[in-house]
Chain A
Amino acid sequence: MTDSPTSKPPTYRRLRIRFAKGEPLKYISHLDLARTWERVFRRAGLPVAYSQGFNPRPRFQIAAALPVGVTGQAELLDLWLTEPLSPAEILARLRPQLPPGLTIHGVEAVDAQSPSLQSQMRAAEYRAVVHSDEPPEAIRSRVEKLLAAPTLPRRRQHKGKIQTYDLRPLIRTIAVEPGPEGTVYLTMRLQASPQGAGRPDQVLELLGLSTAPHTVERTNLYFDFDN
């Protein structure tokens, strides 16, 4: 999915699809989701543009990978087509081909020359619903302590190697609210940019909540173009 503006004929249309990845699909990986979209496009008979080169790939980009097990309410992808089709027509063709768990909120045409979604992304918001007997205040005070820490060194595996990184600068805000009976809502706004992305499971782990039953949803993505 290379994206150099010189290689594409001016007739390509770039469409932005806003979609949700729901419960039935939350265990499939980013790569699986990309393949699923590819097959949705083919079933819908859309004139998808292909990359040049030895092994042509359909041209679309998903803004950000969702961690396995996390649903997404406000996901974005950009798709390039070789023929002009109206967003309404595209939507009408796609909807009957969506598997359970995939929902399209909207389709809009965007400037074909604008930078890639990934490069414009800044932050993501996650909402965790945690089943816990603890009062929200107890969790809130742990959150405050966490946010007060100058650094939060964490380890992660990257390409088979263990790396250390600092999670603290990747956390923007964490809000704690009581939910219905025995649940607590945590709304985390985490950095998600080419320079680094915070993972909600890591935050929950630091808060001692990863063993409590919980679900996580990505509720929003923030981009440069959101002003």
Chain B
Amino acid sequence: MNDTLDRILPTVSKPARYTGGEWNQVVKDWDACDVRWCLVFPDIYEIGMSNLGLSILYDILNRRAGPHTLAERAYAPWTDMEAAMRAAQLPLFSLESRRPLAAFDILGFSLPYEQLYTNLLNLLDLAGLPVLAARRDESHPLVIAGGGAALNPEPLSDFVDAFALGDGEELVVEIGEAVRRAKKKGASREELLHRLAAIPGLYVPRFYEVEYDGTGRIAGVRPTRTDVPLPVRKRIVTTLPPPVTRPLVPYINTVHNRAVVEIQRGCTRGCRFCHAGMIYRPVRERPVAEVLDAVEAIIANTGFEEIALLSLSSSDYTHIEELVRQLVARHGDAHLSLSLPSLRIESVSVALMEQLQSTGRRSSFTFAPEAATERLRGVINKPIADEELLAVAEEVYSRGWKTIKLYFMIGLPTQTLDDVAAIADLARRVRAVGRRVLGRKAQVNVSVSTFVPKPHTPFQWTPLASEEEIKAQQDYLKEHLRGPGLKLNWNRYRETQLEAVLSRGDRRLGAVIHRAWQLGARFDGWGDQFKVEAWRQAFRESGLEIGFYTRRARDLDEILPWDHIDAGVRKSYLARDYRASLRGETRPDCRERCYACGILTAFRRERAAAPADAWGCPKSSDR
């Protein structure tokens, strides 16, 4: 294998993607372990190495799950490497011990987004494994998938043996234990899967059957055995486990080439378009002291020059100001840069960033108003007044940042052309503020993405906007966001459309994904790799309509493909919130007041086990 690799590697781009050996890599004694995971990120190394979820699981499995468990890694080889591997009949291998993936007990796939589905099939195939779960048996590794996109597991249910729903920290240890026992007993694949189905948070799709009515809608989902749960509830950790302080340090440049400390999981803002904001509930904060200690340890253990404090909404971390003050006091002169993503549009954010970037270059400041009119921001529950936004922009420019990045969405529910025109207008007003302060150096970069309705959100029933509408709106913005100091980015509709199909897809899409992959689809999130014709043909052959998944408004009482997956937030709550949105009613931060989303009921026991101030939920009881 090493000879073959030596021959191949000089011929491919960025060969160091495939050689591993990074600082803090863990290589355990293969023969001393009886539970062997390969954690697989189905996109290229540079993206996979920046994924926090995999970093956490790698750490837990190698350093905390006991001496007889190991975890190695694999990423999707880029197309040139794939071609070279196939030509040399070299199966997909792990970076640590260069063993073929087929030699592992468990393959744990990370699925943060839908555009990776064909890559999952492709990697199973590159590993020499049957892509269909039904064709695999005890001689093959168990295939698990987890991550944000797994909360609607149905489109991949033909290919994945079990889905890990929600927080994975405890789940992976329990999965490993079940596999260990099954191996010892010589249990069949069926017996193992049955054991797994009994672990809270694991969904084994083969034990459920879906029926459809004459219109293609789901008539019902029923278990095929009496002893499997319905619905299957996601798993949560009561408090955040200790942060990873020995993360892998890549040699080559990765997307986020830095260390990460997760300061908070979950978000209480309740933006109605936001998948993460709904599926990662409840909010759990990491104590300041733990963050500070972790930063200290990470610098010593990695030598990283940048550390990001990660959360869905940094501004909402209770002790953010104290944390930043302490970090600056301890590391302010150590040539360490600290970053704080997802800041709210308020002057506190500017003050925080100013402290963090007291030295060095102030490049750009990012805000995500998402919608450009106060009305539409009310609909999506992300209220902020234009005046405040402009005042904050003025502060940003006057404190030395030259570029403001603004993120907007088009195609949001109830959006009109006025809301689109307002994007251009607001961006120009921000530029005008910048020019007043900085002159012609002021820059506004506008990113406009197309809203994709996501499962488990209040907008899960709404249609994706049509291609004609979106193209017209993009054309309008291209026309009106021209000129010095303005830059516009947008996405192509056909890629948005695929994301929309897969996000809210059902089991029948398995055949489409399978066929599209056979026709060459992979790296669907990469514009230049996207094979629109493969997908079109796959849909044609399946007899399914794209529009059924994308353009159709669902009735509030329709059975949705993910209804048997319980993310802790009730469907009735989502429906109530959706109706409130159509009336333009906002629901401010639920730290202040509980709107009874269901999370406290679903995780009563976990709440009781956590310290009183560990969760963002207020003390008041849920309904």
Contact = CB atoms under 8 A, between A and B. Distances in A.
Interface of A: 24-25, 27-29, 31-32, 35-36, 38-43, 45, 50, 54-56, 58, 68-69, 97, 99-101, 213, 215
A38 B303 contact: yes
Contacts of A213: 6-7
Contacts of A97: 303
A58 B335 contact: yes
B380 interface: no
A164 B252 CA distance: 30
Contacts of A24: 19, 21
B283 to A, nearest CB: 33
Interface stretch (B8-16, B28-36, B340-348, B582-590): B8-16
19 contacts: A24-B21, A27-B15, A27-B16, A28-B252, A29-B252, A31-B253, A32-B16, A32-B252, A35-B251, A43-B301, A43-B303, A50-B335, A54-B361, A55-B360, A56-B335, A56-B360, A100-B21, A213-B7, A215-B6
B21 A101 contact: yes
Nearest to A31: B253
Interface residues of B, number: 25
Nearest to A45: B300
A54 B304 contact: no
A62 B461 CA distance: 59
B23 interface: yes
Given A32-B16, A101-B21, 16 more contacts: A24-B19, A25-B251, A27-B9, A27-B19, A29-B252, A35-B251, A39-B249, A39-B305, A41-B303, A42-B303, A43-B302, A55-B361, A56-B360, A68-B15, A97-B303, A100-B21
B19 A99 contact: no
B16 to A, nearest CB: 4
B305 A28 contact: no
Interface in B269-310: 299-305
A42 B299 contact: yes
Contacts of B251: 25, 28, 32, 35-36
B88 to A, nearest CB: 13
A215 B5 CA distance: 13
A69 to B, nearest CB: 5
Contacts, number: 62
A43 B249 CA distance: 12
Nearest to A210: B10
B475 interface: no
A126 to B, nearest CB: 15
Contacts of B305: 38-39, 42
Nearest to A69: B10
A31 B253 CA distance: 9
A130 to B, nearest CB: 14
Contact of B21 (A35, A40, A99): A99
Contacts of A54: 360-361
Given A27-B9, A32-B16, A99 B301 contact: no
B388 interface: no
Nearest to B24: A99
B22 interface: yes
Closest 8 CB pairs of A and B: A39-B303, A42-B303, A43-B303, A27-B15, A27-B16, A28-B251, A24-B21, A28-B16
B302 A39 contact: yes
Contacts of B16: 27-29, 32
Contacts of A35: 251, 253
Nearest to A56: B335
A215 B335 CA distance: 39
Most chain B C-beta atoms within 10 Å of own C-beta, residue among A36, A38, A40, A69: A36
Nearest to B303: A39
Contacts of A215: 6
Contacts of A45: 300
Contacts of B10: 69
B303 A99 contact: no
Nearest to A100: B21
A24 B5 CA distance: 13
B335 A69 contact: no
B24 to A, nearest CB: 9
Given A54-B361, A56-B360, A99 B335 contact: no
A135 to B, nearest CB: 23
A29 B253 CA distance: 10
B423 to A, nearest CB: 33
A103 B249 CA distance: 18
Contacts of B304: 39, 42
Nearest to B21: A24
B299 A99 contact: no
A43 B359 CA distance: 22
A205 to B, nearest CB: 13
Nearest to A50: B335
Nearest to B249: A39
Contacts of A32: 16, 251-253
A27 B15 CA distance: 6
Nearest to A54: B361
Contacts of B7: 213
B303 to A, nearest CB: 3
B421 to A, nearest CB: 39
A58 B7 CA distance: 36
Contacts of B299: 42
A210 to B, nearest CB: 10
A45 B22 CA distance: 19
A100 B19 CA distance: 12
A56 B9 CA distance: 35
A43 B300 contact: yes
A173 to B, nearest CB: 25
B360 A39 contact: no
Contacts of A99: 21-23
A24 to B, nearest CB: 5
Nearest to A68: B15
A215 B303 CA distance: 31
Contacts of A56: 335, 359-360
